Amino acid sequence: MEIRNRLFPYPVLCEDTDDYVEGEFYVDAKLVEQGENDILVQFDMHLNNIGLQNLINTGKAEYVIHIECSNTAFRTVIRTFSNTEQYRIMNSRVNGDINLLGMIVSKVKIGHYTNSTLNVDYEDITLNLDKASILAYDNMNPIHIAKNYEELAEKDSIFSVVKQMRIDQNEHNAIKFKLDSDKIKILVDDDLYNSYITYKGNSAMQPMMSSLLVMPALTFMMEVLRAEGVDDYTADYWFIKMEKYYALHGKSFIDDVIYGDDMISEVIQEMLQLPIGKTLLSIPEILGE
């Protein structure tokens, strides 16, 4: 949800109007932590306007944060008088971009509203504000939630499974990997490709898909980056996506992951949230037992 090109019959503090000659309102949002079951988001409200701050201090207005994820149809609203607020969201409720809108909204009718920083255009106008009037707003930057690289293998993928033709139909080629400017490519024989297409949408097969295809692809990527360095790859789409993913978790993809102290096998298992164990545990479901 965003407010764009909307006309209000009363003054609103925002970047889109000059209703106020001084003051500002904006909200900072940051991902504090991302656990196995939920994420914790913190909102820091910044208001520089004495008149609006007095309305909040006296309970006549409040901060409102509208949260929406179009990929999952999740939508909720946070209301608070505090300048700092934390909110937990279940991982299952969101995926991809979370769109945010910060507002100051009146809780009661406000008659004869005045503010010392109003534009002179409002000098001779009597302002009566209804309950639930938007007094200020900030179209905030979205937060991107990438749960793990298993999900990145689906929508907005950094991986691409590509069919390679066999010269001799009686022999299979080894699965190969390639770092392109946009994707990490996984090259498989035509019959393996057909099998992949058949089962990739099966949720029970996802851990196995990660173990068999994505895990060795990421291992290849890490081996190349540690051996050749990162200079030739920093502008590639998949590299940028991984940098953003680790930045959201408070880590540097280059310093902490590529040139970190952990073994490559440990790094890849952490990326995919322990896919080998998930594969073994999913065997009964796959076999229908």
**Tens digits of residue pLDDT in 77-104:** 999 999 999 999 987 788 778 999 999 9
What pLDDT is stored for residue 65 in this prediction?
Answer: 98
Look at residue 274 in the predicted model and tell me its pLDDT: 61
- The whole-number pLDDT of residue 207 equals 64
Crossing angle, helix 215-228 and helix 264-271, to 10 degrees?
A: 130
Look at residue 37 in the predicted model and tell me its pLDDT. Answer: 72
Report domain extents, the chain. Answer: 24-145, 149-287
pLDDT of residue 48: 97
**Cα distances (Å, whole numbers) of residue 263 to 4, 66, 227, 230, 248:** 49, 42, 14, 18, 22
What's the one-letter identity of residue 266? E
Given a contact cutoff of 8 angstroms between Cβ atoms, the answer to whether 149 and 125 are in contact is no
- What per-residue confidence (pLDDT) applies to 282? 62
Q: What's the pLDDT score for residue 149?
A: 46
24-145: CATH topology: Immunoglobulin-like (2.60.40)
- Read off the pTM: 0.57
Buried b (16+ CB within 10 A) or exposed e, 204-227: ebbbbbbbbbbbebbebbbebbee
Within the chain, which residues score under 70 in pLDDT?
34-36, 146-156, 166-170, 200-207, 210, 273-289
Q: Contact 243/188 with Cβ under 8 angstroms? A: no
Euclidean distance between CA atoms 50 and 35, whole angstroms: 39
pLDDT given at position 153? 44
Cβ density class 92-119: b for 16+ within 10 Å, e for less:
ebbbbbbbbbbbbbbbeebeebebebbe
Strands (E), the chain: 24-34, 38-48, 61-69, 74-80, 84-90, 96-106, 134-139, 143-145, 159-164, 176-179, 184-189
